[in-house]
Amino acid sequence: GTGSNILSALQDLFWLSKSKVEKQLQIISVLQWVLTFLVMGIACTLILMYILCTDCWAIAALYLAWLVFDWNTPKKGGRRSQWVRNWAIWRYFRDYFPIRLVKTHNLLTTRNYIFGYHPHGIMGLGAFCNFSTEATGVSQKFPGIRPYLATLAGNFRMPILRDYLMSGGICPVNRDSIDYILSKNGSGNAIVIVVGGAAESLNCTPGRNSVTLRNRKGFVKLALRHGADLVPVYSFGENEVYKQVIFEEGSWGRWVQKKFQKHIGFAPCIFHGRGLFSSNTWGLLPYSKPITTVVGEPITIPKIDNPSQKEVDFYHSIYVDSLIKLFDKYKSKFGLPETEVLEVN
């Protein structure tokens, strides 16, 4: 009757509203991370400097004193917070794209690991969501394994940002930090290194599956020195969420990017995603394209205190072959044609 029709209409309206609210929460969750990635460090530094010049200078002075005392914490495994890693905002972040984590093999808690994450993309969104939050269930899929996402050491010199990053289990990608985690933090540790780094980000664009790996062998040498198993990881869709202006080799644009990369550690990219209110406009929000991160089979690595270049090259070649096989095995399952080839530079 009429009552049933009204009730049905109200139910439809309720679910429509709920869907819209969830979509807005997803957008907000991604926007806060993008702003964190781009401006939080600089903004917090400027705010701290400003407070030092006001009547509240004592607050800033106390924080700076704490910063000096706590300066080496990032190099010693950081200060992760399961509470932060389990925030509901990360689940909205996950669902915006959506992001998935695929496990292919079990990992032993008696071993340590170095995950090679590919490709970098513009912001490494899949790496962050999968390994610095619990949104995709990394702790349930790999019980007893503690992931540490490694990023630029310069981020840990920024006030407030450093603490925010550490709470998610993020650490500096330098030898001191990695040596500590792999030698003085017990077993069951997995350091996630985005191997291609800034150089790889310069070539990421939708429709292209390219990794910078041929001459990246430092992570293999670290694995040999600590006897940490290597695990190839590939994120299908990481390059699809932003569009970028690619400068050709030899152009002035690429020259500027390489200078920044050499002296500062990151390469400025000219990129865009969608707008805040419409997917048909340009903005800083990534496009909502699915990202599927596949964790491959671990490669058993012996412990060699001083590995020779020949030994490094041998295990590096095994790693490259394993990554290519992982890509070829799963590419058709995640929307790529069988003819697609992983470009290894």
Residue-wise DSSP of 111-134: S-EEEEEE--TTT-HHHHHHHSSS
Confidence of residue 146 (pLDDT cuts 50, 70, 90): very high
What was the pLDDT predicted at 268? Answer: 77
What was the pLDDT predicted at 11? Answer: 55
Among the residue ranges 113-117, 132-136, 257-261, 340-344, the one predicted with the least confidence is 257-261
Beta pairing, strands 271-274 & 243-244: antiparallel
The whole-angstrom separation of Cα 147 and Cα 21 is 32
The mean of the pLDDT values for the chain is: 91
What was the pLDDT predicted at 14? Answer: 56
Q: What is the pLDDT of residues 286-340, one digit of tens each?
A: 999 999 999 999 999 999 999 999 999 999 999 999 999 999 999 999 989 999 9
For 159, 183, 284, the CA distances from 272, given in Å and listed in that order, are 28, 41, 6
Q: How many domains does the chain have?
A: 1
For 172, 186, 194, 227, the CA distances from 179, given in Å and listed in that order, are 11, 12, 17, 11
Confidence of residue 93 (pLDDT cuts 50, 70, 90): very high
Confidence of residue 249 (pLDDT cuts 50, 70, 90): confident
What was the pLDDT predicted at 221? Answer: 97
Confidence of residue 276 (pLDDT cuts 50, 70, 90): confident
pLDDT at 3 over 80: no
Tell me the pTM.
0.90
What was the pLDDT predicted at 229? Answer: 98
What was the pLDDT predicted at 252? Answer: 79
Average pLDDT in the 99-121 region?
97
Q: What is the pLDDT of residues 161-204, one digit of tens each?
A: 999 999 999 999 999 999 999 998 899 999 999 999 888 888 88
Rg (C-alpha) for the chain, rounded Å, is 22
In the structure encoding, which two tokens stand for residue 194, read together? 């985005």
Could you tell me which residue, 254 or 292, shows the higher pLDDT?
292
**Domain of 220, in residue numbers:** 3-344
pLDDT at 68 over 60: yes
What was the pLDDT predicted at 18? Answer: 75
Confidence of residue 343 (pLDDT cuts 50, 70, 90): very high
Q: Do 32 and 161 touch, CB atoms closer than 8 A?
A: no
What was the pLDDT predicted at 225? Answer: 97
